Copies of this chain bind each other. A is one copy, B any other.
Amino acid sequence: MFKTLYRMMIGKPLDSHEAEGERIPKWKALPIFSSDALSSVGYGPEQIALVLAAVPALGLYSYFGAVVIAIIILLGVVALSYSQVIKANPGGGGSYAIAMKYLGVYPALTAGAALFSDYILTVAVSICSGTAALTSAFPILAPYHIYVDLFVLVGVLMIFNLRGVKEASTAFVWPTYIFLAAMFTTILGGLYQVFIVGVMPQEAVVQSSEPLTGVTVLLLLRAFANGCSSMTGVEAIADGVPLFKAPQERNAMITTGIMACILACMLGGIGYLFIYFHLLPIEGVTLMSVLVEEVFGRGVMFYFIQLATMVILYLAANTAFNGLPPLLSFMARDGYVPRYLGDRGERLSFSNGIVLLTLAAAILIVVFEGSVEHLISLYAVGVFLSFTIAQSAMVMHWKTSKEKNWWIYVCINGLGAVVTACVVIIVLITKFIYGAWIVCLLIPALVYMYLKIHHHYENVREQLLLTPEAYQTYMKVEAGRNLIIIPVASPTQAVAKAIYYAKATLGPDDKIYAVHVCTDEIKGEKVKQLWQRLEPSIEMVLIPSPYRQLSSPLVTFIRRLRKAKSPNDVITVLIPEFETKKIWHRLLHNQSGMILRARMLNYVDVVVVTVPFKFTK
């Protein structure tokens, strides 16, 4: 029954040869990779306005246009840079892979850590924002907002992504396009009002006449840093190149370009309308909804756009599901995260990575009690850090490639690196006390963890390495006797089966010990007597256990045996284990077989044989 449910949710397994069929065309890739970036126009311009309009007397609002233009230019540089990353690194893996290639391990791992923390935050923040939109529409759901979060995370995003990227993209493609249509309708409707109808703004924008001071520059920088939150998610395509249809690099580059253009148009259009209508942030409503009301009034269109915005916020989380698992698979291949994160599941998605992302985001949501306000401060440092690293790596790439006009590319990427590094510093300074410090601790901790993991895998590789010569030498060592120990609680059919197996595989010099760990002296004597009637040819050893423990006395017994016998002798512990017919029956048995097995393997050098005894009812 559980299996049927699982199949219904995940779908039938896909053959490895179907991998090509799971790849997606550009028009599907665009929504699934860019829902994060595109959705941020819903709140990016507002974040700028919030800072600029905070102190009206300073007259900073007049710089709104300049800040938006600066962000669009930065977006152009970053997008250009990432399309070069895709070209230089067609295998995918984005900043991490390119940094590993040109800058070395530490920058690459820093990028990996930055992206890891950022993707998880993306999921948590987007889901919480989506639920905040939902609960403001349906206040009845407000007390259960964390359950709604977790349902969307596990029940929708995780399940759909486990079903494979193709199904997820099919499910999530339309909401994104509907959101885009809604946004452009708003922008075009606004421009129509401005240029054709000729609506005048309620208030003219006052040009600031004051010269710029230190404080105003800092505020402008902060507005700029806030607006940069619109750019999170731009790197997702470069992480997921292998998911594209062939020609992969070309399609991925074109998609990056299209995404950047759409984002730039939306930012520009919405920014222009904000300035033209001189919209100021109001407590409790989003600036976007004020703009929509200004353009269309409070009609059907108004509610439709609100709804589309809510849906796109949930989908923004999906970008991380498409970006992080492929990135983790790259890091797993290099041995910096657990290897199994690189395994493709039954549906060819990186299912372990998807589950890890889900778990991590769920923990964040529960710990921060689904509060967007607390989560958002941790955001954006990671993205810009990875941007900086990627662009620095590209500089190295051009310098070594010596292509035609390489110095132009070096300039572009160098400028990009400097600007994004500045953004990192600005974000760190302006958001440090609000939570960015957590990221400052988290990224080095993650890098340290990656290095420890890599160190372990290196150790393992070294210890497991087997040459044909080493193998031949090993096989030439003469094997000693096999000393078989069978723990007997009382003589039952299960023990009989174990004895039978032991006898069937017994060599001429081998020896069987039936061992009873004696927690109760009277019972011990009884078992011994029964045993002597049953099988006089096998010696029964009574091990006293005054403290009623099971494994410790047996460990001591085996250690003594080990010392007494030849070092070539093999000790085998043969454990009769019950296999119950129903799962709940397991709760009725004390798992001593399992505990014994675990302790034997851990504490003494023995081989453990499990002889199952299946209950038929």
Contact = CB atoms under 8 A, between A and B. Distances in A.
Interface of A: 13-17, 338-340, 343-346, 453, 456-457, 459-460, 463-466, 468, 470-471, 474-475, 477, 479-480, 482, 491-496, 499-501, 503-505, 507, 510, 519-520, 533-535, 546-549, 570, 572, 577-579, 585, 587-590, 597, 601-602, 605-617
Given A15-B546, A492-B466, A608 B610 contact: yes
Contacts of A572: 505
A495 B466 CA distance: 9
A616 B463 contact: yes
A463 B493 contact: yes
Contacts of A588: 338-339, 453, 456-457
B496 A474 contact: yes
B503 A479 contact: yes
A13 B589 CA distance: 23
Given A16-B546, A548-B346, A615 B459 contact: yes
Copies in the complex: 2
Given A16-B519, A343-B548, A507-B505, A466 B479 contact: no
A494 B471 CA distance: 11
Contacts of A510: 505
10 contacts: A346-B548, A466-B534, A474-B496, A474-B500, A475-B499, A475-B503, A477-B500, A479-B503, A577-B601, A601-B610
B13 A533 contact: no
B340 A590 contact: yes
Nearest to A510: B505
A235 to B, nearest CB: 27
B457 A471 contact: no
A346 B500 contact: no
A347 B491 CA distance: 28
Contacts of A519: 16
A547 B346 contact: yes
Given A14-B547, A482-B505, A605-B614, 13 more contacts: A16-B548, A338-B589, A345-B548, A457-B588, A463-B493, A464-B493, A464-B494, A465-B493, A471-B496, A471-B534, A474-B496, A474-B500, A607-B611
A493 B474 CA distance: 10
A22 to B, nearest CB: 13
Most buried by B among A464, A492, A493, A616: A464
Given A501-B607, A505-B507, A547 B13 contact: yes
A466 B507 CA distance: 26
B503 A590 contact: no
B601 A579 contact: yes
Given A607-B609, A610-B610, A535 B471 contact: yes
Given A570-B501, A615-B460, A346 B549 contact: yes
Nearest to A606: B612
Contacts of A608: 609-610, 612
B482 A466 contact: no
A458 to B, nearest CB: 10
A17 B615 contact: no
B612 A607 contact: yes
Contacts of A597: 610
Given A16-B520, A474-B500, A466 B453 contact: no
B520 A500 contact: no
A438 to B, nearest CB: 22
Contacts of A474: 496, 500
A449 to B, nearest CB: 10
A143 to B, nearest CB: 14
Closest 10 CB pairs of A and B: A479-B504, A13-B547, A464-B492, A340-B590, A15-B546, A601-B612, A608-B610, A609-B609, A338-B588, A464-B493
A91 to B, nearest CB: 17
A459 B613 CA distance: 14
A464 B492 CA distance: 5
A207 B159 CA distance: 72
A453 B589 CA distance: 11
